Amino acid sequence: MWTYILRRLLAFIPTVFISVTLIFVFTRLLPGNPVWALIGDQSVSADKIDEVVRQMGYDRPIWVQYLEWLPRIFVGDFGYSVFYKEAVFDVIVGRFPVTFNLAILSLIVTVVVAVPIGIIAATRQNSWIDNFSMATTTIWISLPSFWLGFLFIIFFSVVLRWFPSSGYREMSFGFDAWFSRLVLPVLSLSLAHIALLVRMTRSSMLDVLGNEYIVTARAKGLSEHKVVYKHALRNAFVSIITVIGLIFALNLGGSIIIENVYALPGLGQLVATAALRRDYAIIEGSMLYFILVALLVNLAIDISYTLINPRIRYG
């Protein structure tokens, strides 16, 4: 088991390395480079441009820039944002809790709703729950999340006045203030993923339930409850947990759009604003942060396999 975990950790290093390099390539080698973003529409002399280029170190060979950049980002030095007049890392860390709250709450809602529905759909095939969920999953994954978000605002905030339509309050303002502002964002983010996870759970349960050891378990007279929850679910969970990890990454990505619908001051809103202003330092830093979190989640999922399914230990 420990060799497996060690092997995963070793494989993790090149993955991080490649992703991080990709970010460097994106921000440095695409046209519209950071210098022009800083200068913007001002008319400046060629000398002035040269000066900015030199100040930012962009006149040096690209590999020198890369070698200097690489070690810095691993100690959390993501540069300085001229727009926020603050270190990029601090700006991001200040914003991350909102995004994390949104992503985690969404994940919890998704799992709590979807896994039971998926199990029921698999164990009672062609029941109304099975038919209904299979018929509607395609609808849920086809709705643009931001549009769904606006529909929720129209219905739940404007018409029914149940929840505030936008903004964020920290938990220190009270649970209600915090929770009521996250209900609609979480709901808009979760629906499509619930649909995905229901399908996934159902199909992996059906796969497992078709196995011979399930027939054996039934034949030796175990209760249906024990067969489903003890024998089948444990094995189905290996593929379910992959999807759960994927959904966390989808939630992080989805938060970019949802935060802009509900004016939540998280990373997603930060990135979108930075992109509009071409604030390269922030864009680069957020990409780094997003990818590192996503990769760490992947790693955690990989390792958790060993805990659920002992067969993988030596795999």
Partner 1 sequence: MDDTGVASLPGTGATARSMSARWYRALRLVFRNRLFAVGVLILLPLIVMAVGVSSLTSYDPTTINTSIKLQAPSLNHPFGTDEYGRDLFARVLHGSQISLRVAAAATIVMAVLGIVLGCLAGFYRVADAVISRIGDALLNFPGLIVGIMVMAALGQSERNVVLSMVIMYTPRIVRVVRASVIEVKTIDFVDAARVIGASDLRILASDILPHTIAPLVVQVTFGFAWAILVESGLSFLGLGTPPPAPSWGNIISDGREFIRTAPWIMVFPGLMISLAVMGLNLMGDGLRDILDPRLRNAARRIETSVG
Contacts with partner 1, residue ranges (CB under 8 A): 14-15, 18-19, 22, 26-27, 30-33, 138-139, 141-147, 150-151, 153-154, 158, 189, 192-193, 196, 199-200, 202-204, 207, 243, 246, 249-257, 260-261, 271-272, 274-276, 278, 280, 283, 286-287, 290-291, 294-295, 298
Give me the least distance between CB of 219 and partner 1, in Å please.
Answer: 27
Residue closer to partner 1 by CB (options 200, 217) is 200
CA distances in angstroms from 13 to 17, 106, 113, 292, listed in the order given: 6, 29, 35, 11
Q: Which residues pair with 86 in a beta bridge?
A: 81
Smallest distance from the beta carbon of 154 to partner 1, in angstroms? 5
Tokens representing 114 are: 């979807």
CA 93/CA 86 separation, integer angstroms: 12
Q: Is the CB of residue 214 less than 8 Å from the CB of residue 242? A: no
CA distance 181 to 42: 40
Nearer to partner 1, 202 or 217 (CB): 202
Beta bridge partners of 80: 87
Q: Taking the complex as a whole, how short is the minimal distance between the CB of residue 175 and partner 1, in angstroms?
A: 27
Could you tell me how far CA 14 lies from the centroid of its own chain? 21
Q: Which residue has the tokens 């440095």?
A: 28
Q: What is the distance of C-alpha 136 from the center of its chain?
A: 24
Distance CA 83, CA 304 (A): 41
Q: Which is nearer to partner 1, 89 or 248 (CB)?
A: 248
Whole-number minimum distance, CB 95 to partner 1, in Å? 14
Question: Cβ of residue 2: shortest distance to partner 1, in angstroms?
Answer: 25
CB nearer to partner 1: give 191 or 217: 191
Q: Distance between the two ends of the chain, CA-based, in angstroms?
A: 9
Q: Which is nearer to partner 1, 6 or 22 (CB)?
A: 22
Closest to partner 1 by CB, 89 vs 289, is 289
Closest CB 146 distance from partner 1, rounded Å: 5
The rounded distance, in Å, linking the Cα atoms of 190 and 105 is 9
